């Protein structure tokens, strides 16, 4: 299934197992918050400039004894599972 086909039928709610089974072309374009699917829009040029400048500043400030530090600006993050705040 292509990304555009998936968007034609994407569910409102998705399980962790369903998310992990998605092709990367789809999973990189959504966020899942408490099981709810949120479609991510591409970042703006201003966002990309800020991310690049911040990464450059962090790398420039690194310690000379650790010159191999690398700062990436486009990464996926999986946060630990917590109870849905609506259930509290």
Instruction: Give per-residue pLDDT as tens, 14-55.
Output: 888 888 898 888 888 888 888 888 888 888 999 999 999 999
52 vs 2, residue with greater confidence? 52
Q: What is the CA radius of gyration of the chain?
A: 17
Cβ atoms of 14 and 35 within 8 Å: the answer is yes
Q: Is 65 helix (H, G, I), strand (E, B) or coil?
A: coil
User: Would you state the pLDDT for residue 2?
Assistant: 64
The predicted model scores a pTM of 0.56
């Amino acid at each position: 299934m292509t990304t555009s086909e998936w968007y034609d039928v994407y569910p409102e709610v998705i399980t962790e197992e369903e998310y992990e089974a998605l092709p990367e072309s789809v999973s990189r374009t959504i966020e899942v918050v408490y099981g709810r699917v949120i479609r991510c829009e591409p970042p703006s040029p201003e966002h990309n400039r800020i991310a690049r400048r911040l990464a450059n500043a962090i790398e420039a400030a690194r310690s000379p004894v650790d010159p191999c530090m690398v700062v990436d600006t486009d990464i996926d993050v999986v946060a630990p599972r917590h109870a849905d705040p609506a259930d509290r």
